[in-house]
Amino acid sequence: MEYVIEMLNIRKEFPGIVANDNINLQVEKGEIHALLGENGAGKSTLMNVLFGLYQPEKGEIKVKGEKVKITDPNVANKLGIGMVHQHFMLVDTFTVTENIVLGSEPKKGGTVDIKKAEKEVKELSERYGLNVDPGAKIRDISVGMQQRVEILKTLYRGAEILILDEPTAVLTPQEIKELIGIMHSLVKEGKSIILITHKLKEIMEVCDRCTVIRKGEGIGTVKVADTNPTELASLMVGREVSFSTEKTPANPKETFLSIKDLFVKDVRGVNMVKGLNLEVKAGEIVGIAGIDGNGQSELIEAIAGLRKSESGSIKLHDQVITNLSPRKVTQSGVSHIPQDRHKFGLVLDFPVGENMVLQSYYQQPFSKKGVMNFKNIYKKAQELIEEYDVRTPNAYTKARALSGGNQQKAIIGREVDRSPDLIIAAQPTRGLDVGAIEFIHKKLIEERDKGRAVLLLSFELEEIMNLSDRIAVMFDGRIISEVKPEDTNEQDLGLMMAGNTPQKAGGS
């Protein structure tokens, strides 16, 4: 069998870190080849080497059996390698066609022949079942469509090998299904696809073979037909991974958090939380299940003091914390793992160490009389980095340089370390790989067992079912029913999330 792409013994170093070492990747013509690894394992680095953005220190690259040197993305394009990045590179105000031909426009006497371009784009789109409207403006089309435009862009430039960097991360389940269809029709036409991912389900569903990278090292290539998710997960993480988190039954004690008749408005001034009641006890994890946009974010921001409550009360123990400042809420014993770790959780341009004291910098021993004590700060940071397995060159590295999973572990370390009474965990594992998810779930259960109250918000039903001791279904700004995970299943939960209150679930 001839390989269209061969990367042999690739090694890539960055100052202080080996990102890739001894990695082999061989892609056959017409196959979908998965590149699997944890966050920060070096998948993107390897693909950037292939795409000419980085030069490897060692190793060689062959395209269709011929040794090549890919010095920049233009060379990669000429060799028929196209890349669809995780973050799209499209001009918002341009049309689909204009974006696709940008840089290699068909010309007619000094002007762009947009008619011809549109025709070509239409043909390509139909041939691969992409179904995009060549005349639509980028800002008017969905994220899934924008991704297809990116795919078309590479095809228009004659790509034979497509690199898709975590393409499903931004898509809805329906869009994922459609993307899978597109991938199948692409390989049918003789293209080859390298799929970068850490989602095992996708690999099992669409890929032919899978190359695994762990901590920058090539682990090997397996045929997907001969393997299973458990084996892939342990190859990726380097140890056995359990998918359902082990935990003992909860032992709830006194009520820590109690919310009564809470009303909260969103930025537009529309009521999003409408008379919500909820209690969380010490030693239990309460999971909020619901479809995005039913007031979950507003609820959490209101508890954390980031958003004003219109009426109702939020109590921690016997203390009313409604509309206290974020600092007062923190001081009263609430920790908050925010939904958006880049926007809220971290100051990305600060070192990891300084991010570890983002709420406590003004207290001893981190400062005294207004003067920072960086020795104590970095000592604490080092402890947290070790305890929470935050993989970073050192505590002085900017938070921006860390992978998503490690950023999240840093936030969780910081939030849990304050020994709060209540931990709000909003989508704590979004975008993370199985290893990191397992770690974070374990930590949350540990905290529960220490007698803390945990309020979990997640849009992943699996996570809600696995982790919660009690599930509160949120719909249209209210908790419409509460169930135990052992008394329900994903299907029933789905129905309740859509606003139905089945009898057997014992509605509210």
Partner 1 sequence: MFANRTINILIPIISVLLGLLSGAVIMLVFGYNPLKGYAALWTGAFGDAYFLGETLRQVTPYILSGLAVAFALRTGLLNIGVEGQVFVGWVASVWVGVAFELPMILHLPLAVLAAALAGAFWGFIPGILKAKLGVHEVIVTIMMNYIALYLSNEIVRNVITDGKDRTDSIAPTASLASEWLAGMTFYSRLHWGLLIALFMALVMWFLLNKTTRGFELRSVGFNQHASNYAGMSVGKNIVLAMVISGAFAGLAGAMEGLGTFGYMSVKSGFTNIGFDGIAVALLGANTALGVVLAAFLFGTLKIGALNMPTVAGVPTELVEIVIALIIIFVASSYMIRWIILRFKKEGK
Q: Residues in the site for partner 1, rule: CB under 8 A?
A: 15-16, 55, 57, 304, 306, 325-328, 330, 336, 338, 343-350, 354, 358-359, 361-362, 367, 370-372, 396
Collapsing DSSP to helix, strand or coil, 354 comes out as helix
What gap in Å lies between CA 370 and CA 434, rounded to an integer?
42
Kindly report each contact of residues 227-232 with a partner whose C-beta sits within 8 Å and lies 24 or more positions away, as own/partner.
Answer: 228/204, 229/200, 229/201, 229/204, 232/36, 232/200, 232/203, 232/204
Nearest to 163, CA basis, from 195, 191, 209: 195
Q: Which is nearer to partner 1, 351 or 485 (CB)?
A: 351
Query: Is residue 85 a contact partner of residue 96, using CB atoms and an 8 Å limit?
Result: no
Give the nearer residue to partner 1 in terms of CB position, either 277 or 359. Answer: 359
Q: Is 89 or 347 the residue whose CB approaches partner 1 more closely?
A: 347
Find all residues with CB under 8 Å of 88, minimum gap 6, and list them: 146, 147, 149, 150
The three-state secondary structure class of 503 is helix
What percent of the chain is helix, strand and coil (3-state, nearest 5)? 35, 30, 35
**262 to 151, 266, 301, 306, 479: CA distances (angstroms):** 46, 13, 12, 15, 11
Contact present, 415 and 423 (Cβ < 8 Å): yes
Indicate the residue among 71 and 185 with the shorter CB distance to partner 1: 71
User: Least separation, in Å, of the C-beta of 48 and partner 1?
Assistant: 13
Q: Quote the least distance from Cβ 24 to partner 1, whole Å.
A: 23
CB of 392 to partner 1, least distance (A): 13
Q: Is 506 left (phi over 0), alpha (psi -120 to 50) or beta?
A: left
Q: How far is the CB of 247 from partner 1 (least distance, A)?
A: 29
16 vs 249 by CB, closer to partner 1: 16
CA 199/CA 233 separation, integer angstroms? 9
C-alpha pair distances (Å), 229 with each of 72, 325, 463, 475: 36, 45, 17, 33
**Least Cβ distance, residue 449 to partner 1 (angstroms):** 27
Burial of 262 (0-12, 13-18, 19+ CB in 10 A): buried
DSSP-derived 3-state class of residue 36: strand
Bridge partner list, 454: 285, 423
CB of 327 to partner 1, least distance (A): 3
Please, what is the minimum distance in Å from the beta carbon of residue 10 to partner 1? 15
Pick 187 or 401: Cβ nearer partner 1: 401
Structure tokens at 23: 């990695």
Centre a 10 Å sphere on the Cβ of residue 304 and count the other Cβ atoms it contains.
21
385 vs 366: CA distance, rounded Å:
17
Q: What type of residue sits at position 483?
A: V
* In the complex, least distance from residue 356 CB atom to partner 1, rounded to whole angstroms: 11
Nearer to partner 1, 200 or 352 (CB): 352
Can you tell me the distance from the alpha carbon of 299 to that of 322, in angstroms, rounded to the nearest whole number? 12
Q: Shortest approach of partner 1 to residue 363 CB, angstroms?
A: 9
Instruction: Choose between 223 and 327: whose C-beta lies nearer to partner 1.
Output: 327
CB of 394 to partner 1, least distance (A): 9
For residue 422, the minimal CB distance to partner 1 (Å) is 16
Q: Which is nearer to partner 1, 243 or 361 (CB)?
A: 361
CB of 406 to partner 1, least distance (A): 17
Task: Mark out the alpha helices in 103-210 (DSSP H runs).
Answer: 114-127, 143-156, 173-188, 200-206
- As a whole number of angstroms, the distance between CA 358 and CA 364 comes to 13
Q: Which CB, 131 or 325, lies closer to partner 1?
A: 325
CB closer to partner 1, 88 vs 344: 344
Nearer to partner 1 by C-beta: 16 or 65?
Answer: 16
